[in-house]
A and B are shown apart, each in its own frame.
Chain A
Amino acid sequence: MGIFKTLSFAAPELVLVIGAMALLITGVFAGNRSAKQIGNGCIALLLAAVLLVLFSPTAPTESLFDGAFRIDAFSTFAKVIIYLAAAIAILMSDQFFASEKLRRFEYPVLIVLAAFGMSMMVSATDLISLYMGIETQSLALYILAAFNRDSRRSTEAGLKYFVLGALSTCLLLYGASLIYGFTGSTSFEEIARIASAGGNNVGLIFGLVFLISGLAFKVSAAPFHMWTPDVYEGAPTPVTAFFAAAPKLAGMALFARVLVSSFPGSLDDWQPVIAMIAVASMAIGAFSAIPQSNIKRLMAYSSIGHMGYALIGLSAGTAQGVKSVLIYMAIYVVMTIGAFACILMMRRRGGMTENISDLSGLTKTNMPLAIILTVLLFSLAGVPPTAGFFGKWYVFFAAVDAELIWLAIVGVFASAVSAYYYLRIVWFMWFDEAAEPFERSPAPALQFAAWGSAILMFPVLTVFMGRLTEFAGRAAAALF
């Protein structure tokens, strides 16, 4: 394939990275005054990338760059959600950065670069491109975590994230080099061929476990979750909103692709590992969130728990399992964005409040926000008829289908425990005496994100869930 033809297939990524560079240069010359325009430019880039992904003129499945980069229904599904989540993250940040006097043109550009990295991740079919994708994403995220550079909490979050992130990258690289050493190839396809031909190779298993550890860190699954609460709490809230959504989906998609397409024959080896990570994450997510009083910290533990549920689906190792992971993550991303839009609306006297008790009696002071948050919390808890329940149903079904009934039972009990802390917020909002009301001038973008996600969770997805499962099913089939 000629170089131009190859590049034309990677058009969305090229648009993002070239556009981001151009906007960065513009920003350097125009200064922070242009932050707003650059933000809009970045949103336009992301939307253009979505269109390019959706209406790509190529065949549905295409391998580029000597098999390092693959475009298929799986990557398309993930990319559309990643780009949209990134665009909304930029949109939601505006009011916050304006009021905190933090508005800088680098923010949207970094988000676009992170989105580019994620898009590499979900398309990677080679250990090298996998590593490049992860690092591009992570470097952008390290800076974003410390974006409020004059705040101690924020810089601390950035530093912690960086040090622990570097450690996990080491694990990942070590695993990748072991795998390369034992198979002689970095391509997933080759690895799969050699691994299934060679039987049980201890060195390869070691490499796989290290690789899994590194990836578990990226999706903040226990026992590699320690950074999550601190980074979530310390980073500026719009950044946390971004952290909690798109990178998790990208990480999980990468996880699925690596395990399913390069180690399909070693299911018996990695299934118990993933299952144990899932159990640990669900347990940590369920029990550690209970005593939290800061809502960002609570969301951090909640996201650890949610990664556990998604990993249940992955541990099934079947097409049904991957499909359930995609459904779960898509719903999770929407819920999380909505929840953080609500958190960004928790403003009093020009500043942010982050305590759960600040939501007391919200139904008496701000009914619309309370309704949105209630729908999202029930969805996070996985109570029907909200979409969160459907996500849980598919992962539990995948586990049962793959004869991992014990894992599904652990999962349902974890979700019963975690229901308690979501209900606690509902209880504060509905049953308690009213606290001081929040400011009544939320930005339209936040309102849009919050309402949009709540309506998607119930009733839109409740009714049209069949469509999402259809897309996810097609995407999952691309890996098998």
Chain B
Amino acid sequence: MTAAQPWLSLLTFAPMIGAMFIVISRMMAKKNDDGVIAGPDLEQVERNARIIALAFTVGAFLISLGVFALYDSSLAGFQLVEEVAWLGGGISYKLGVDGISILFVLLTTFIMPICILASWDSIKSRVADYMIAFLILETLMIGVFCSLDLFLFYVFFEGSLIPMFLIIGVWGSKGTKEFAGITLPSRVYAALKFFLYTLIGSLLLLVAMAWMYAQAGTTDIVALQQTDFPAGAQKWLWLAFFASFAVKMPMWPVHTWLPDAHVQAPTAGSIVLAAILLKMGGYGFLRFSLPMFPLASADFAPFIYALSIIAIIYTSLVALAQEDMKKLIAYSSVAHMGFVTMGIFTGTKQGIEGGLFQMLSHGFISGALFLCVGVVYNRMHTREIAAYGGLVHRMPLYAFLFLFFTLANVGLPGTSGFIGEILALVGAFKVNSWIAFFAAFGLILSAAYALRLFRQVMYGALDKPALMTITDVDWRELLSLGALMAFALYLGVNPGPALDVFSPSVDLLMENYDAALAAGAVR
């Protein structure tokens, strides 16, 4: 199954090549006496940067479609595998995709052009740097989903912190925050919190990885999945991996970095964070925790259920009390990710597929919701819910789109949100009906906070003077939101194609998982 052509490497590094083009265009621009690019030269560089970034993200999307065309979704194993020696001693540069990862790759390449479009006018300072950061981030994110070597995965996984740290810190919103006696810009606080939280979680994974490497002599994911780690060790390894992915996911109680990061990040940063970066956690659980430590996964499943239910109910209640639109959506993300973790660790086919589907669908829906917030934020420069009201009178099209995504977020049948949640609930119901019972409250609560947000922003009298001149969505926003809506609707009405792609890989995963549990029970 070895591919002759390095398609995945091309896909992974295509955005980085775009970043290099922007660097070159910056270097070639005329500089004034202070060594700074200014005036019309700067405008030219910025225009180039936007166009190059869009061209390369769209190009990456097209390549990923090509990869998808080459991918045979009836097979279960890894495909388009490529391997090159790297560090020696069992650590190599190895890429490949299977049914679990291919759709995340597509999600990433699909979301990125939308991010670039969302930043087209709203980013005014240091445009070239911004686009470089996004292109590098895309390379790292695709790399995470394509890696077939744990060490390589870690490099991409951790590396993605750097561009996101800079995106939040440099282009984040204004405002200051008091922390530990010092006053610092709140975007800096959010950036540092994001970086350090995720770093500390991941470092335990690093130690676990070192231990696994010492045992197995390789970090090849396929080989590690076949390695039978002793049951006692599995617990510790599982916990170490859990520390990393739970922070990334994020699961209650380590979710507190997310609202800060979301609120401070620029619109496109929020979109990437919600749509893709969070998915790395769930992907990690599916790629590593479940297949490599099946016994520990089964043992810890009740613990995960408990955390998931707390996340679903508690963060939904927290979302109900928010006055900042982005914070509200951020908490709703945490709640929705609760369904994902719950579904994955049920160890049932419906649960896992529900978790996967929920991640995909949440990618479209939460990305779209943050984009929606960005639309009004660009016009009004505030995210306070109280600053809005009656927008439906001035922005009918916007109100329609927002309503659609609000309902999709709630999980209305006919939208993709419904399929993911119902599958995860069915999976949970098979294991224990009480879990499903409590988790179902999340659906009610999400309707409560999402509709409250919609009512306060859209309905009521249009009596705030600042809103009198607000304009409806422009064609660029319409294009992005329309594309997202099309996917959310299509997957909601016809989830079959996506489930068919998952299915063989999930079946294989289940087969090995059940076999390992059976063997563990015998021992």
Identify the A interface with B (CB < 8 A). 363-366, 378, 383-385, 389-390, 392-393, 396-397, 399-401, 405, 408-409, 412-413, 415-416, 419-420, 423, 426-427, 430-431, 437, 440, 462, 465-466, 469-470
Contacts and interface: CB of A to CB of B under 8 A. Distances in A.
B87 A383 contact: no
A431 B169 contact: yes
Contact of B158 (A366, A383, A396, A399): A383
Interface of B: 34-36, 85-89, 126, 129, 151, 154-156, 158-159, 161-162, 165-166, 169-170, 185, 187-188, 191-192, 195-196, 199-200, 203-204, 206-207, 210-211, 213-214
A413 B203 contact: yes
A477 B151 CA distance: 24
Contacts of B158: 383-384, 389
A383 B154 CA distance: 10
Q: Tell me the interface secondary structure of chain A in the complex.
A: helix
Contacts, number: 98
Contact of B159 (A363, A366, A385, A401): A385
Contact of B34 (A383, A392, A437, A465): A437
Contacts of A365: 34-36
Given A383-B161, A396-B206, A466-B86, 10 more contacts: A390-B87, A393-B206, A399-B210, A408-B210, A409-B207, A412-B207, A413-B203, A437-B34, A469-B87, A470-B88
Contact of B204 (A401, A412, A469): A412
B404 to A, nearest CB: 37
Contacts of B185: 431
17 contacts: A378-B162, A383-B158, A384-B158, A384-B159, A389-B158, A393-B210, A396-B206, A397-B210, A399-B210, A400-B214, A412-B206, A416-B196, A416-B199, A423-B192, A427-B188, A431-B170, A466-B88
A423 B169 CA distance: 11
B484 to A, nearest CB: 31
A466 B158 CA distance: 20
A440 B204 CA distance: 43
A412 B210 CA distance: 12
Contacts of A419: 195-196, 199
A430 B214 CA distance: 39
A330 B187 CA distance: 36
B381 to A, nearest CB: 20
Nearest to A462: B155
B200 A413 contact: yes
A399 B207 CA distance: 10
Contact of A465 (B86, B196, B200): B86
A389 B155 contact: yes
Nearest to A400: B210
Given A408-B207, A466-B88, A469-B89, A383 B199 contact: yes
A400 B207 contact: yes
A405 B210 CA distance: 9
Nearest to B85: A466
A364 B37 CA distance: 10
A416 B88 contact: no
A427 B190 CA distance: 12
B211 A427 contact: no
Contacts of A384: 154-156, 158-159
A399 B214 CA distance: 10
Contacts of A378: 162
Contacts of B151: 393
